[in-house]
Chains A and B, each alone.
Chain A
Amino acid sequence: MMSYDPAVYSRILTGLTLGFHIIFATIGVGVPVMIAIAEFLGIKRKDPHYTLLARRWARGFVITVAVGVVTGTSIGLQLNLLWPSFMQIAGQAIALPLFMETFAFFFEAIFLGIYLYTWDRFRNPWTHFIISIPVIIGSSASAFFITIVNAFMNTPQGFKLSGRTIIDIDPIVAMFNPATPTKTAHVLSSAYMTSAFVLAAIAAVALLAGKRHIYYQKALKLTMVCGLIFSLSTAFIGDLSGKFLAEYQPEKLAAAEWHFETAEKAPLVFGGVLGENNEIRYALKLPYALSILAYGKPDAVVQGLNETPKELRPPLYIHYFFDIMVTIGGLSIVLCIAYLWINRKSRQNTGKPLPRWLLRCIVWSGPLAMLAIECGWIFAEAGRQPWILRGYMKTVHGATTSANVDWMLLLFSLLYIVLGFTVWIILRRMFRSYTPEQELEQNGIEGGPHK
C-alpha cells in the first residue's frame, strides 16, 4: 500500500468520479441532440421509424441521465470535500459559471421531465418536438458553463491573490479566459460526436445479429452522417486547441509531443517510448507537423519542454493519451466516409447487406469514441499538473488535510462498480425484452403476415 497522503488519494478519487461521470455526461449532452434530430425527421418525413427511434433512445436515455445526475451531484459535493483549500480561494472566482451551470441543469431537468411524459399528449406533434429544444439548450449550456470552470483553472485570470484571499474579481474576465472558446467548443462537439457513434454502435450490433428491418438501417445512416459532421468539427476545433496550447500552455503541448528543445520545423511525434535521457525511440515522426499544429506554419518555432523548470513540468505519459485521442478521432472520420461510400454502392446493387467487417468497426467506434473522451480529458487534466490553478496554486496545496480519504476512495470505487454494472444490465434488458419490431407492431404502425 501507498503511505497515506490525502492529496494523492484526493486526486485519484476526483479522477475516478469524473472519469465515471463524463461517460454519462457525454451521453447526457449528445444524445438529446440525436433524439431531437430523429424526432424532427420523423415528423417532417412522416416516417414513424424515426419517431420510434427517438422514443427508444429517450427511454434508454433516462437511465443514463439518472446516473449522470447522481455522479454530477457527487462531483459537485466532492469538490468541497476533497479540495476545501482550493474552493476557499477559487470558489468565489468560479462561483458565477458554477451558478449558471446549475441554472442550466435546472432548466434541463424541468424540460426533460416534461419531454419524457408528454409524448402523446399534444395534438400537434411539433409541440412535443419544441420541448426538446430547451432540453438541448439546458444540457449543452451546462456543459458549456462547467467547462468554463475548467478553462479558468487552466488559464486563470480576472482576479488578484493576496495571501489566502482573492480580491478584485472581474467575473466576466474570469469566465471568458483564453482557454474558454476552444475548450467549450471541443467538449460540446466531441460529446455530440461520441453520442452519435454510441448510437451507431447499437444499430450496428442489431444489424450484425442478423436483423434486417429497415428501422436499423435508417438508424445507422442517421447516426453515421451525424457522426461524420461532428467528428469533422471536433477535428477542426482540436486543431484550434493545439494553437491555443502553443500560445498559452506551451508546456502542455511540449509534454504531449515530447518536444524538449525549442526548435523550428518541429516534427509531430507519434507513439514510441522514451529512453533514459529522454531520447525518443520507435516513434513515427511527421516532419513540420507540430509547427503546423501549433502555428499553422511549417517553419514556426515551437517552445520545448526544457524551457519549463523541472518541478513545473507536466508528466510525460500524457503523450500516449494525446496520441490515442487523435488516432481515434482520425479513424472515426475515415470510418464514416467508408460507410457512406459502401452504403451508396450497396444500395445501387440492391439488397446486398453491408459487409460484416464494416459493421464490426462501427460497433467498436462507440466504445472507442468514449475512450477518446476519457483520454482527451486525462491529457487535458494531467497536462496542467502540477498546478490546480495554473500559475497560482499547486494541486498538493488545494487538497484536503482530512484523514480517511483512502477509505472514501474504496467506498466510491465500489459504488461506481455497482452502478455501472446495474446500468448495463438494465439497459440490455430494456431493449432486448421489447424490440423495435414488437413495438412497431403494437403501435399499429406495421405488422401483418408479410413481415
Chain B
Amino acid sequence: MNIELIGITVLWIFLYGYLIVASIDFGAGFFSYYSMLTGRKHLVHGIIERYLSPVWEVTNVFLIFFMVGMVGFFPDTAYYLGTTLLIPGSIAIILLAIRGSYYAFSTYGSKDNKFYMLLYGASGLLIPASLSIVLTISEGGYIEEKGNQVTLLYSKLFTSPYAWSVVILSLVSVLFISAAFLTYYADKAKDYKAMEVLRGFALGWSIPTILSSLLVFFSIQRHNPWHFEQMLDLSWMFVLSFLCFMVATYLIWHRKRLGLAFLTVMLQFALAFFGYGASHLPYILYPMISIHESITSPSMGIALIIAFIAGLMLLIPSLYLLMRLFLFNANYVQGKHGK
C-alpha cells in the first residue's frame, strides 16, 4: 500500500470512530432533553450522565484528529474545503462550542438548568447536519472555481435533493446509533425502566434510518452517476450492512443480547461507511482533489505514519483503561460509585 492510501484509510477509520462516539454523544444529549420535556427525565438521565461524563472530551478529539490528518496528508483539501466552507464550518464550530461548554455547565455547574439543557440538546442535532455538508460537497458539483477564487454554490446546495437526503440520514442515524448504545448500556446497568424507554427510541428510529439510506442511494444516482456505478461494484458491502441492520433490530425487538445488537449496529454503519468511502476513491473532492495530490515529501509521510503508530500504542491502552474503569465496570455503570 502506498502512503496516500494508508493515509486516507487511517483518516477514514478515525472519521468512523468519530461517527460512532459523536452519534452516541449527540443523540444522548437530545434524548436527555427530550425525556426531560416528556417528564421521563428521572428514568434515563442518570444513565446518560454516567456514560457521558468521563468521555465527552475524548469525543471531540476524534474530529480534530481527522482534520489535522486530512490537512497533513492532503494539503489541497485545506485550500478548497477551507475556502468554500467558511460559513457552514463556522456554524458547525459555534454549535460544537455551545454544545461542549453547556454540557459541562449543566453537568458540573448549574444542574437542572433547563435552558442549558436545551442549548446542549438542540445543538447536538444541528451539528450532524452541518458537518454532513462536507460529505455532500465531496460529491462534486457544488463548488465553482474561477481563476483564483473558489466559491460554494449555496443555491445549488440548498435546492439539491442529494444534500437534503444526506442531512436526513445523518440526523436519524445519530438517533438510532445513540439509542441502540444506550439501550445496551441501560441493560448493563440493570436499569430496566431506562432500557425500555431507550429501546422504544431505538426501534422508533430504525425504520427512518433504513428509509433515509435508500433515499441517499437514489439521490446519489441522480447527482453523481460515476460514484453510483462505483458503489454498485461494492454492493456486497451495502447488502451486508442491511443484514446487520436486520439482526440488530431483531435483537433489540426481542430484548436479547443487546451488546451484540449494538455491535451489529456498529458493523452496519462500518460497512456502509467504508463502502461509501472506498467507492469514492481515488477522489476526495470529486473531481478536483484525488488522493494522489497528497504530501509531496515522503519523509513527512513516513514520520506521520510513525507518529500515528506511536500515538495509537499510547491511546489504545489508555482507552482500554477508560473503558475498564467506566464503561465496563459494573459498579460504576450501576451508579454505585460516588464522584
Interface positions of A (Cβ within 8 A of B):
59, 62-63, 65-67, 69-74, 76-78, 80-85, 87-89, 91-93, 95-96, 98-103, 105-107, 109-114, 116-121, 134, 159, 165-172, 400-402, 404-405, 407-408, 411-412, 415, 419, 422-423, 426-427, 429-430
Min distance, Cβ B189 to any Cβ of chain A, angstroms: 16
Q: Assess the A171–B90 pair: CB atoms within 8 A.
A: no
Could you show 21 A-B contacts with beta carbons less than 8 Å apart?
Answer: A62-B104, A65-B57, A66-B100, A69-B57, A77-B89, A80-B78, A80-B81, A81-B89, A83-B82, A84-B80, A93-B300, A98-B71, A102-B65, A103-B310, A106-B61, A114-B322, A402-B83, A408-B86, A412-B90, A423-B101, A427-B109
Q: Assess the A100–B104 pair: CB atoms within 8 A.
A: no
B318 at the interface (CB under 8 A from A): yes
Q: Assess the B61–A171 pair: CB atoms within 8 A.
A: no
Assess A98 versus B104: contact at CB under 8 Å? Given A92-B75, A113-B55, A113-B57.
Answer: no
Q: Assess the A116–B97 pair: CB atoms within 8 A.
A: no
When the two chains form the complex, which single residue of A88, A95, A100 contacts B79, counting CB atoms closer than 8 Å? A88
Q: Which of B57, B73, B79, B103 has the most CB of A within 10 A?
A: B57
Bound-complex Cα distance A95 to B301 (A): 10
Min distance, Cβ B332 to any Cβ of chain A, angstroms: 8
Q: Which residues of B contact A84 (CB under 8 A)?
A: 78-83
B304 at the interface (CB under 8 A from A): yes
Q: Which residues of A contact B3 (CB under 8 A)?
A: none
Assess A70 versus B75: contact at CB under 8 Å? Given A62-B108, A106-B61, A412-B90.
Answer: no
Chain B, 174-206, contact with A by CB distance < 8 Å: what is the 0/1 string?
Answer: 000000000000000000000000000000000
Q: Assess the A171–B98 pair: CB atoms within 8 A.
A: no
Q: Assess the B67–A77 pair: CB atoms within 8 A.
A: yes
Q: Which residues of B contact A116 (CB under 8 A)?
A: 53-54, 339
B274 at the interface (CB under 8 A from A): no
Min distance, Cβ B86 to any Cβ of chain A, angstroms: 4
When the two chains form the complex, which single residue of B85, B93, B308 contacts A99, counting CB atoms closer than 8 Å? B308
Q: Which residues of B contact A98 (CB under 8 A)?
A: 68, 71-72
What does DSSP make chain A's interface, helix, strand, loop or mixed? Answer: helix
Q: Assess the B87–A401 pair: CB atoms within 8 A.
A: no
Assess A63 versus B65: contact at CB under 8 Å? Given A170-B299, A408-B87.
Answer: no
Interface positions of B (Cβ within 8 A of A):
53-55, 57-58, 60-61, 63-65, 67-69, 71-73, 75-76, 78-87, 89-94, 96-105, 108-110, 148-151, 295-297, 299-300, 303-304, 307-308, 310-311, 314-315, 318-319, 321-322, 325-326, 332, 337-339
Assess A95 versus B109: contact at CB under 8 Å? Given A102-B61, A169-B299.
Answer: no
Min distance, Cβ B266 to any Cβ of chain A, angstroms: 20
Q: Which residues of A contact B81 (CB under 8 A)?
A: 80, 84
Min distance, Cβ B285 to any Cβ of chain A, angstroms: 13
Closest Cβ neighbor of A165 among chain B residues: B296
Q: Assess the B60–A73 pair: CB atoms within 8 A.
A: yes
Bound-complex Cα distance A417 to B150 (A): 32
Q: Assess the B100–A73 pair: CB atoms within 8 A.
A: yes
Q: Which residues of A contact B79 (CB under 8 A)?
A: 84-85, 87-88
Min distance, Cβ A73 to any Cβ of chain B, angstroms: 6
Bound-complex Cα distance A93 to B296 (A): 10
Bound-complex Cα distance A402 to B83 (A): 6
Bound-complex Cα distance A169 to B93 (A): 31
Assess A429 versus B109: contact at CB under 8 Å? Given A113-B58, A117-B53, A171-B303.
Answer: yes
Bound-complex Cα distance A84 to B87 (A): 14
Q: Which residues of B contact A166 (CB under 8 A)?
A: 296-297
Q: Which residues of B contact A412 (CB under 8 A)?
A: 90, 94
Q: Assess the B72–A107 pair: CB atoms within 8 A.
A: no
Q: Assess the A171–B299 pair: CB atoms within 8 A.
A: yes
Min distance, Cβ A149 to any Cβ of chain B, angstroms: 10
Q: Which residues of A contact B71 (CB under 8 A)?
A: 80, 87, 91-92, 95, 98
Q: Which residues of A contact B55 (CB under 8 A)?
A: 113
Closest Cβ neighbor of A77 among chain B residues: B93
Bound-complex Cα distance A134 to B304 (A): 23
Q: Assess the A430–B109 pair: CB atoms within 8 A.
A: yes
Q: Assess the B337–A419 pair: CB atoms within 8 A.
A: no
Q: Which residues of A contact B325 (CB under 8 A)?
A: 114, 117-118
Bound-complex Cα distance A411 to B87 (A): 11
Q: Assess the A401–B149 pair: CB atoms within 8 A.
A: yes
Q: Assess the B108–A63 pair: CB atoms within 8 A.
A: yes
Closest Cβ neighbor of A74 among chain B residues: B93
Q: Which residues of B contact A118 (CB under 8 A)?
A: 325
Bound-complex Cα distance A73 to B58 (A): 12
Closest Cβ neighbor of B72 among chain A residues: A95
Closest Cβ neighbor of B86 among chain A residues: A402
Bound-complex Cα distance A103 to B318 (A): 12
Assess A401 versus B83: contact at CB under 8 Å? Given A98-B72, A169-B299, A429-B110.
Answer: yes
Min distance, Cβ B337 to any Cβ of chain A, angstroms: 6
Q: Which of B85, B100, B110 has the most CB of A within 10 A?
A: B100
Q: Assess the B303–A96 pair: CB atoms within 8 A.
A: yes
Bound-complex Cα distance A419 to B116 (A): 12
Closest Cβ neighbor of B82 among chain A residues: A84
Q: Which of A66, A168, A427 has the most CB of B within 10 A?
A: A66
Q: Assess the A114–B54 pair: CB atoms within 8 A.
A: yes
5 closest cross-chain pairs (CB), A and B = A95-B72, A84-B82, A66-B104, A113-B54, A426-B109
Bound-complex Cα distance A198 to B89 (A): 34
Q: Assess the B110–A92 pair: CB atoms within 8 A.
A: no
Q: Which residues of A contact B102 (CB under 8 A)?
A: 422
Bound-complex Cα distance A112 to B61 (A): 13
Min distance, Cβ B264 to any Cβ of chain A, angstroms: 27
Q: Assess the A73–B318 pair: CB atoms within 8 A.
A: no
When the two chains form the complex, which single residue of B87, B151, B319, B337 contacts A110, counting CB atoms closer than 8 Å? B319
Bound-complex Cα distance A159 to B109 (A): 48
Q: Which residues of A contact B149 (CB under 8 A)?
A: 401
Bound-complex Cα distance A430 to B67 (A): 35
